[in-house]
Structure 1
Amino acid sequence: MRVILKETIDTLGIAGTECDVAAGYGRNYLLPQSKAILATPQNRKVMEQAKAKLELQIAKERKLAEEMADKIKTVVCTIKAKVHEDVRLYGSVTTHDIKEALNKQDITLERRAILLAEPIKEIGEYKVPIRLYKDVEPEITVNVIEEEKEEK
């Protein structure tokens, strides 16, 4: 099924582009959610007219993402975790933990924007990329430290 995207979708492309999708995905998700329209000659003409407006929107989104990237580059996120033996964690630090730590610093991100390859299982300092926009991926520093033990 050929559709024209009405908004940017990470896995498909930016708004205004035409792409092929599985029929079920288009029929059951993209079209009902108004994220895309069918790629017919009439809809192509409508999208061409709206293209200038979309290009302005894309430029604004990219500029905002780049400004946020400059802000995020300097962020150091410290997460306390329970340690088993020397450096191994009892559990692991996941994207959810990083998102919560960033929320405490007044930085709001979607969990899927945090590109953590695999959960962190040892204490230390890690560089974690954040996808803010297509090709805009600054890295934040995540420090995992030992949680202080309670004395009895």
Structure 2
Amino acid sequence: MAKRNVELLLNISVENLGLVGDVVKVKPGHARNYLLPHGLAEYPTAEKIEALKDARASAAAAMQKRQEGRAKLIERLTDVTIKLIRSVNDQGALYGAVTHRDIFDQLVLDGFPVEMQAVRLANTVRRIGSYTCAIVFDRELRTEINIEVLPDRTLELFQQSVDAERAAESEDTVEEMDEATDETQGDDDSQDNGKEKGKKGKKEKKGKKSADKSEDSAPKAENSDKPEKSEKAGKSDKGKKSKKDKD
């Protein structure tokens, strides 16, 4: 069975817990191991709560002013980019990683008085490049800033790799254009070949038709010769008969 939370009276304001004079509920372990040993809280009584009443009013006014300042700072930080110059090797790896402390220091130098605990960097930065970092004061007051980690010198190998990538991209573009041109020419050639084949086909059809006509006309000619021969044969027979009659 889970232990019940205990009530404590805060002797000073504690971040994310409450203001001085507040009665808060915390887990027994947190009370026993941190708040009570460090004098940050004690068990509440009516007299102690009354004694801290004025202190709480002052702390509330200070917190209100602090929150207003944080809200203005959040507005200023929106879309802000900070630049960090670091020593790197030829591959762009940092010799020293960028931490939330480095970002905090740079923000203060750039005129942004944030609290270090408000800087929330998800992962340690170990290479040059572009990154983001959260600035969180509380659940409602938060934003993100941009971070540019730049090398302290010109990276020859890194630049060569960039140039090589650009050259490869340009070559790919040229090859694609050449392929497109070849495809277009191929289509034109196929169309021309198709036209030539069509013309040849038409010529062959015409040749076949003329050949068929000549073959059809040849038998007719042979048949036309037969009557002439029969007429000649008839005439010769008549001549022979007439000679016989004379004899």
Q: So what's the TM-score if we normalise by structure 1?
A: 0.75
Given that residues 36 and 42 in structure 2 are in contact (C-alpha distance below 8 angstroms), is that contact kept between their aligned partners in structure 1?
no
Q: Which residue does 2:196 correspond to in 1?
A: none
Residue 40 in structure 1 maps to residue 45 in structure 2: yes
Inter-partner Cα distance in structure 1 for 2:91 and 2:23 = 52
Summarize deviations over 1:77-117 as a string: whole Å, max 9, x none. Answer: 10011223433222211112112212321223333221112
1:117 equivalent in structure 2:
122
For residues 1-152 of structure 1, what are the structure 2 equivalents within 5 Å?
2-5=7-10, 6-10=12-16, 13-15=17-19, 16-20=22-26, 21-29=30-38, 31=39, 35-46=40-51, 53-148=58-153
**Higher helix share goes to which structure?**
2
Code of the residue aligned with 1:7 in structure 2: it is S
Distance in 2, matches of 1:17 and 1:142, equals: 41
CA displacement at 1:118 relative to structure 2: 2.1
Distance, in Å, in 2 between the alignment partners of 1:133 and 1:53 is 21
Q: TM-score, normalised by structure 2?
A: 0.50
Given that residues 129 and 140 in structure 1 are in contact (C-alpha distance below 8 angstroms), is that contact kept between their aligned partners in structure 2? yes
What CA distance in whole angstroms lies between the structure 2 residues aligned with 1:81 and 1:17?
A: 48
Secondary structure of 2:76's aligned partner: helix
**Percent of residue pairs identical:** 20
Q: CA RMSD in A?
A: 2.7
Task: Give how far 1:128 is off.
Answer: 0.5
- Give the number of equivalent residue pairs: 144
Higher relative contact order (Cα pairs below 8 Å, separated by 6+ residues): 1
Q: Shift in Å at residue 51 of structure 1?
A: 5.3
Q: Pick the structure with more strand per residue.
A: 1
Unaligned runs of 5+ in 2: 1-5, 155-247
Aligned partner letter, 1:27: L
- Flag structure 1 segments of 5+ consecutive residues without an equivalent: none
Indicate conservation of the 8 Å contact 1:18/1:39, yes or no: no
SS of 1:130's equivalent in the other structure is: strand
**Aligned-partner Cα distance in 1 for 2:18–2:113:** 22
The 3-state SS of whatever aligns with 1:143 is strand
Does the CA contact (< 8 Å) of 2:7 and 2:23 recur in 1? no
Is residue 78–residue 143 contact of structure 2 (8 Å, CA) maintained in 1?
yes
In our comparison, the structure showing a higher alpha carbon Rg is: 2
Deviations 1:33-79 (A, max 9, x none): xx434322333445567655544433322222111111122432100
The structural deviation recorded for 1:9 is 1.5
